[in-house]
């Protein structure tokens, strides 16, 4: 499809199929070339199309607030090139044990009091063991009891894990595909792209909602950014939440010296996600501090309607709560 044809044609809202699998569609709704053509649109035209889709599906003044807590930090056996929690790199992050229920509840209550409606718990594991799932299930049940939506990101899941988490009250499971399939091996060597898809299938099969996105600014091409969006948009159904992370270079990791992505390219990625996944929550995630208020505002125009909210995002910095509240007030936006 040419760029001109996208400009001329009316926007067609893409609706998720009824299938309960997280596998990619045999007949993709979106080709990589089509998404590249979206990226190539004049910036104002792209934002107009994204905002049109956004307004057809959401209140454009609402932003969903999620808080992410690291419940088990560092010592991960994976070698993800972006991650300061990998045991393969010397980043100054010390491994910790799994947090206790009372400590997690205290953090969840604080997040809830600040306006968060979803509480995500992240553990730096390649994949949890059965005994880990039992402990995390207790945390999920406790947080669910506060009236918050619950989310967990624990790595690759084994047999029965998704079902156990579901039974404890888990609403969402986060498992990002990180980047395009043909870029994946440049970023991670301790697992394969299909391993990510396998866990997502387990989550869908258990009836848990999917939170799945990726990271941009890792040296990928625009075609690879389009391919990342295509992988997400062609899932059946596509994820209910799509976090788009802007790389935070961390000293000691292989991507520590990676040049930053052009901020307008980041906004284009948000817009492409919104157009191709009309009903998902597109979340501004890691890297918001570096973007600044003006670029974040453009992201909201481009269809972002969720943020990770709180002073820290796992082990990297995040805008503090008062700064986010001030930005939303300035923009005339409110918590969903």
Task: Fill in the DSSP letter of residue 237.
Answer: S
Q: How far apart are CA 114 and CA 108, in angstroms?
A: 10
Q: Which of 120, 191, 202, 281 is catalytic?
A: 120
Q: Hey, how many other C-beta atoms are within 10 angstroms of the C-beta on 287?
A: 23
Active-site residue identified among 191, 202, 211, 288:
211
Q: Any idea which residue has 């040419």 for tokens?
A: 2
Of 29, 83, 166, 202, which residue is the catalytic one? 83
Per the annotation, the verdict on 212 as an active-site residue is no
Catalytic residue among 204, 281, 283, 288: 283
Residue 299 appears among annotated catalytic residues: no
Task: Please indicate whether residue 15 is annotated as part of the active site.
Answer: no
Is 283 noted as a catalytic residue in this protein? yes
Q: What angle do CA 80, 83, 150 make, to 5 degrees?
A: 105
Residue among 80, 204, 288, 299 flagged as catalytic: 80
Nearest alpha-carbon partner for 241 in 104, 138, 336? 336
Kindly name the residue from 151, 191, 212, 299 that is annotated as catalytic.
151
- Phi-psi bin for 332: left (phi > 0), alpha (psi -120 to 50), beta? left
H or E element, residue 265:
helix 263-276
Environment class of 207 (CB within 10 Å of its CB; exposed 0-12, middle 13-18, buried 19+): exposed
Q: Which residues are catalytically annotated?
A: 76, 80, 83, 120, 151, 211, 283
């Amino acid at each position: 499809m040419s760029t001109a044809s996208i400009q001329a044609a009316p926007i067609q809202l893409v609706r998720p199929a009824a299938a309960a699998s997280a596998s990619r569609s045999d007949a993709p709704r979106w080709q990589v070339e089509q998404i590249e053509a979206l990226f190539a649109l004049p910036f104002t035209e792209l934002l107009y199309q994204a905002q049109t889709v956004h307004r057809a599906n959401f209140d454009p003044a609402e932003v969903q607030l999620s808080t992410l807590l690291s419940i088990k930090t560092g010592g991960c056996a994976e070698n993800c090139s972006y991650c300061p929690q990998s045991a393969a790199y010397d980043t100054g992050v010390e491994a910790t044990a799994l947090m206790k229920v009372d400590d997690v509840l205290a953090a969840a209550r604080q997040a809830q009091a600040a306006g968060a409606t979803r509480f995500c718990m992240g553990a730096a594991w390649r994949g949890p063991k059965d005994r880990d799932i039992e402990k995390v299930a207790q945390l999920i049940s406790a947080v669910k009891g506060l009236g918050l939506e619950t989310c967990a990101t624990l790595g690759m899941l084994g047999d029965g894990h998704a079902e156990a988490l579901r039974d404890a009250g888990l609403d969402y499971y986060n498992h990002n595909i990180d980047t395009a399939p043909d870029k994946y091996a440049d970023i991670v060597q301790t697992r394969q792209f299909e391993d990510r898809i396998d866990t997502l299938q387990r989550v869908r099969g258990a009836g848990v909602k999917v939170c799945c996105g990726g990271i941009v600014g890792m040296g990928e091409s625009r075609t690879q950014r389009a391919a990342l969006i295509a992988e997400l948009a062609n899932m059946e159904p596509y994820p209910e939440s799509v976090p788009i992370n802007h790389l935070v270079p961390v000293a000691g990791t292989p991507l520590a010296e990676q040049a930053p992505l052009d901020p307008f390219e980041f906004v284009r990625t948000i817009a492409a996600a919104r157009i191709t996944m009309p009903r998902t929550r597109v979340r501004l995630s890691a890297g918001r501090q570096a973007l600044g208020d003006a670029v974040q505002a453009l992201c909201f125009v481009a269809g972002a309607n969720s943020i990770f909210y709180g002073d820290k995002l796992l082990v990297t910095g995040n805008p503090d709560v008062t700064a986010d509240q001030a930005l939303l007030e300035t923009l005339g936006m409110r918590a969903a």
